[in-house]
Amino acid sequence: MEWEQKAYFETAGGDRAGLLAMNDGHWTVCWAYASPHSGMQMVSYDPERGEEVFKTARDQARTREGLAFDSRTAWQNGSL
């Protein structure tokens, strides 16, 4: 399985999420939780739903605790 990272953010608390476009046509949202939870979760969606879930998670994280990193501004040419 191959993938392309479309977007990424990290919260001020250290949680991370990435939006990946898979070569099978699905998009996957991957969450990596900081301590004390210290776990990972990946969920596959159709592209539109994957983007919607990722954006909702990012908006909630920005409101709840702030973002330490946002690929829309930190990557050259930005991201989703």
Which residues, including other chains, have CB under 8 Å from residue 46's CB and lie 6 or more apart?
A: 26, 27
C-alpha torsion angle, residues 11, 13, 14, 15 (rounded to 10) = -60
Q: Count of domains in the chain?
A: 1
52 belongs to a structural domain? yes
78 belongs to a structural domain? no
79 belongs to a structural domain? no
Verdict on whether the full-model pTM lies above 0.85: yes
pLDDT at 41: 96
Per-residue pLDDT tens digits for 58-79: 999 999 999 999 999 988 878 8
- Containing structural domain, residue 65: 3-34+41-73
Per-residue pLDDT tens digits for 21-63: 999 999 999 999 999 888 999 999 999 999 999 999 999 999 9
